[in-house]
Amino acid sequence: MSLALTFTRRRTAAAVLTTALLVPLAACGNDSEKDTAGSTAPGSPPSGSASAAPAADLTVLAAASLTDVFKTAGAAYEKSHPGTKITFSFAGSQELVAQVAQGSPADALVTADTKSMDKVKGDTGTPTVIAKNRLVIATGEGNPFKVDELKDLADTKLKVVLAAPEVPAGKYSKKILDAQKITVKAVSQEPNVRAVLSKVELGEADAGLVYKTDAESAKDKVDAVEIPDAQNAIAEYPAATVKGSEHAEAAAAFVAWLSSPEAQKILQDAGFQKP
């Protein structure tokens, strides 16, 4: 056998051996890259989840009927998202929508009806319904005027307050009263449902239509008279990010969190219905 042939065979064998050794190492390298750059490592929050949201100061415009529950929800969110601070601005949904339409700084919007949210669909992300509610008749503590049903509100001797027609609670009130052909001469029409509740609490009104959760928040000052399902209306609360937000990722994380089990428990403990 020639010297050249022997050398060639040895070089080929060495190359094969080297390749055999490098293939497993390359496979291990690929797996390592997947752990760090591809799939999420076990126990880590998925990319884009609320728990992975960047810290930010968020301004959330929310329907007045969410005042109490969102204070609790906001505190819970801040606790689980260190560095994040949420400032709520509560008002009637019609006022909040007007603020968004005018370009007022905000990161998220939560209204008490879908129609209000629809008015600014060009200024918000896709809304998600996070909760539902229903109307009750709020009366003074002990129900001194013995209001038992909707038709009792037609009594002209009663001082009845309602939310204004442009307010979601006012729209729902008009809907159920019209359906029952009940005419109510309200002594005032308020800019939001919490103002209706306040009038009853202070004794400035004998009765008013409010959300069940509003009456629950003041149960030591008012009584709530249930309205049968067949005569009632269901309020829906959609939440969405505001497109002009300077904290888009953090705002989206908060809106997504409102549908989480933790947030839903807070909402339902306050008397809101499942979305």
Is position 19 within any domain? no
Same structural domain, 255 and 175 = no
Between 13 and 44, name the one with better pLDDT.
Answer: 13
Res 132: pLDDT? 98
Over residues 182-202, mean pLDDT: 96
Is position 228 within any domain? yes
Is position 52 within any domain? no
Backbone φ/ψ region at 58: left (φ over 0), alpha (ψ -120 to 50), beta: beta
Same structural domain, 212 and 245 = no
3-state secondary structure of 238: strand
Confidence of residue 233 (pLDDT cuts 50, 70, 90): very high
Res 202: pLDDT? 96
> What domain count does the chain have?
2
In this structure, what token pair is assigned to residue 167?
Answer: 């307010």
Same structural domain, 181 and 201 = yes
Over residues 121-142, mean pLDDT: 97
How does pLDDT run across 18-51, given as a tens digit for each residue?
444 343 434 444 443 333 333 333 333 333 344 5
Domain range spanning residue 106?
65-132+237-269
Same structural domain, 180 and 226 = yes
CATH number at residue 170: 3.40.190.10
Chain centroid to CA 203: how far?
32
Same structural domain, 229 and 241 = no
Is position 20 within any domain? no
Residue 100, pLDDT > 70, answer: yes
Res 53: pLDDT? 77
Measuring CA to CA, how many Å separate 102 from each of 126, 132, 168, 183, 244? 19, 27, 20, 36, 11
How does pLDDT run across 54-76, given as a tens digit for each residue?
889 999 999 999 999 999 999 99
Over residues 94-116, mean pLDDT: 96
